[in-house]
Every structure is written in structure tokens, then in C-alpha cells.
Amino acid sequence: MLMEFIREQLALQLNVEEDAVWPDTRFDELGADAVDIVELVMALEAEYGVLLEDEQLERVQTVGDLIKLVEES
């Protein structure tokens, strides 16, 4: 499941609890910077076979935004 994958990735990358990651969680609340988001996107692209464009990522603020973007790709 996509949400589970994102939770696991963010927990590993950012050293946060998986329970801290919800669709309405903002990446900045987790302490994620641009590099962290790029690493997450690369993992998502590899796992789900999608290609997310930089322009699309500019509007991503929350985990839910990213989930929606992956689902639409």
C-alpha cells in the first residue's frame, strides 16, 4: 500500500515514528528538506514505476498531496 511505503521510507530517512506520518502531515513538520523529498520521490518512482515531474512536486506540501500525485501518474 502506498501510504505504508511512504511511512516506512520517511521513518527510515527522517528518523521519525511511522505513527507521526498521516495524509495531512506536512513534510516540514517532519523536518524534511528538499533533498529528503527528492530521495522519497526517487524511491516512489522505483517502487511504483511512475515518473513525477519537478513542476508537479512544487505543489506538494503534505503526504496526502504526494499520494494523490502518485495515484494520478
Query: CA-to-CA distance for 54 and 14, rounded, in angstroms?
Result: 22
Q: Where are the alpha helices (DSSP H) in the chain?
A: 2-14, 34-48, 54-57, 63-72
Tens of pLDDT, residues 6-18: 999 999 999 999 9
- Supply 33's cell numbers: 528538506
Q: Grid coordinates in use for 30?
A: 517532519
pLDDT tens digit sequence for 47-59: 999 999 888 888 8
Residue 70's pLDDT band, with cuts at 50, 70 and 90, is very high
DSSP letter for each residue of 10-30: HHHHH---GGG--TT-BGGGG
Instruction: Name the pTM for this structure.
Output: 0.86
List active site positions: 33
CATH number for the domain running over 2-72: 1.10.1200.10
